[in-house]
Chain A
Amino acid sequence: MVDLQIGKGRFRNLLAYLIGIILIFVLIGPPAYMVSMSLKTGRDLFSIPPKFIFTPTLDNYKEIFGSASFVRSIYNTIIISFTSTILTEIIGSMAAYSIAKFKTGGKPALYSVLIMRVLPSVVLGLPLFIMFSRIGLLDTLHGLILAYIGFLLPNTVWLMIPFFQGISRSIEDAARIDGCSNIRTFIDISLPLSRSGLIVTTVYNITGAWNHFYYALTLAPAKTRVLSVEASQYVGEYAVQWGTIAAISSVLIIPPAILIFFIQKHLVSGLSLGGVKG
């Protein structure tokens, strides 16, 4: 590791710690404060100076989980995130393997994956809206799952390619000589060896689908509302219900945070191997 500290001796370590602590305070402070707000009610929410010590209550959570549309939106979000992730992993790792090992499409295939990966969903939301409304996919779970696969897939292929390329040729050749078919080699050798790539992309896809907003807002705004759309509705309607808003935001951010915490080691190696995530 490169030693690039600022300042000298003990002082520079102190300075690094100081910057580190400020960084954590600035980055973690706001969401942590919001989680604490979700445990406050009534006067505690609006006291000046803000109360950092208070009696926590689950009233806000009871309220949101008592709302049928909220529970429905959680259900929708979970179904959509998991289904689209599983399908994307299968289709995506197959395509990545094809591009990495059989050089299908050559360089142009690589570049088109990259281009599709940077295309904003703000661009595709409109034509998908018209297309879906013509074939009756608007505001349905199927339609939204399909749309989500569309935006998760290019990133998954892009991140999986280097993992398959990283498998040494000789291991796969050995399997071939032992009489393994291509498909057996893929399932028994290549997939298990790219385990950490699969873990990283799965986490990206679940959090990506969980966090996604634009397709959900435009393609499923009523019956099939997901959590992020449900949450965004609270801004206009209940602008003063801070406790409720804080509880909903907490429900939105806590699952990805837990997921990230458990797989952070894989994640850092995935970032350096798979280039960078958009």
Chain B
Amino acid sequence: MLERKRKRSILEWCDNHLGLIFILPAMAILGLLIIYPLYFNINMSLHKVNMINFKADEWEFVGLKNYIATFSDKTVLLSLLRTFVFMIVTVVGQVVLGMIGALTLNTQLKARGVFTVGVLIPMMMTPIAVGLFWRILLNRQWGLINYFLNCLGIESVAWLYETSSAYAAVCFVQIWWGVSFVILVLLGGLSSLPKEHFEAAEIDGASKWQSFIHITIPEMKSVLLTVIMLRAIDGFREFDVIYTLTQGGPGEATKVFSLHLYMTAFETHNFSMGAAQAIILTVITLILSSGLIKSLSESEADNG
């Protein structure tokens, strides 16, 4: 009797503290797989860790030496610059083309559903497959892109084997891949805009362009900001597509920061240097996402 009562009170206690119990597994997983690795990473970046001693209990403490070495390395600074340019070019491309796509789909087209499904597919495509088939399409001799260019009377380009064209090609593929996500999110924003504003503007004699600039853009501000932030973060850390397209080549023409980090850590096995670069990438990501958090909390405040 007493036994059962105790069992019951334990169950009751658990039920009353369900919020706490429900969050514990997630906290354990995230602590183990995100928080602790981050701490471990910071620790590694302050020591000397390489292929020989990475399993040892103690590492030689070197202070900020890894960070100083990273920032005085010209190849790192160049890859950072490359990454920033890549991020800006691809975000602008995706948002401009995505806006045009979303405005087009946001009409009373009968085939709207078909178009939307078509737009959805690239978004879910494996980045590795995207890299692989664009590699084939961009082939100098037999690629479809050069075939179309030849039809227009333009000479074939060795897209992935020349410094400037390879950089342009990775930017292009990133835009191609990301634009469908932008279209979808902007489409969601557009279809929830209040119709009355546009009617009022039309009565006042505003042109489509004017109502786009003065109503659509301001009304869509938070959606636009969010999508820009998300694509900027993704662009800054892009790895998969570039890895399969060019592996950073030719030379170092498309070696963005994440590829640089990967090669430092897993090809030259300089773990502590890789860790320092990972921390730098984390800090940049956090700076970029603080904008995201701000725009999200503002939109939350707007919603009351």
Contact = CB atoms under 8 A, between A and B. Distances in A.
Nearest to B137: A30
A271 B187 CA distance: 11
A124 B227 CA distance: 24
Contacts of B63: none
B54 A267 contact: no
A50 B118 CA distance: 24
Interface string A1-35: 11111100000010011011001101110110110
B293 A114 contact: yes
Given A153-B30, A278-B230, 6 more contacts: A103-B19, A104-B23, A122-B237, A126-B274, A242-B136, A245-B132
Interface string B93-125: 000000011011111110100111111111011
A147 interface: yes
11 contacts: A31-B122, A124-B38, A126-B41, A127-B278, A129-B266, A134-B55, A153-B30, A213-B127, A232-B131, A242-B136, A264-B120
Contacts of B288: 118
A30 B133 contact: yes
Interface residues on A, range: 35 or more
A153 B121 contact: no
B94 to A, nearest CB: 13
Interface in B16-47: 16, 18-20, 22-23, 25-27, 29-30, 32-34, 36-38, 40-41, 44
A115 B286 contact: yes
Contacts of B49: 130
Interface in A43-86: 45-46, 48-50
Contacts of B163: none
A159 interface: no
A53 B176 CA distance: 26
B70 to A, nearest CB: 14
B29 A91 contact: yes
A29 B150 CA distance: 19
B253 interface: no
Contact of B120 (A48, A109, A267): A267
Contacts of B54: 130, 133
Contact of B227 (A27, A104, A268, A276): A276
Contacts of A134: 55
Nearest to A235: B244
A6 B103 contact: yes
Interface in A154-208: 154, 157, 181-183, 186, 207
B141 to A, nearest CB: 8
Interface in A208-241: 210-211, 213-214, 218, 228, 231-232, 234-235
A246 B133 contact: yes
Interface residues on B, range: 35 or more
A26 B295 CA distance: 32
A84 B135 CA distance: 31
Contacts of A2: 106, 190-191, 193, 195, 198
A248 B136 CA distance: 13
Contact of A27 (B107, B176, B240, B296): B176
B271 interface: yes
A228 B38 CA distance: 26
A256 B124 contact: yes
B233 interface: yes
B192 to A, nearest CB: 7
Contacts of A277: 181
A184 B107 CA distance: 45
A271 B158 CA distance: 39
A92 B30 CA distance: 11
A213 B128 contact: yes
B223 to A, nearest CB: 8
A126 B271 contact: yes
B159 interface: no
Contacts of B29: 91, 149-150, 153
Interface in B262-304: 262, 265-266, 271, 274-275, 278-279, 281-282, 285-286, 288-289, 292-293, 296
A275 B211 CA distance: 26
B41 A127 contact: yes
Contacts of A49: 147
Contacts of A24: 114-115, 118-119
Contact of A4 (B18, B44, B107): B107
B292 A126 contact: no
A271 B227 CA distance: 12
B252 interface: no
B128 A232 contact: yes
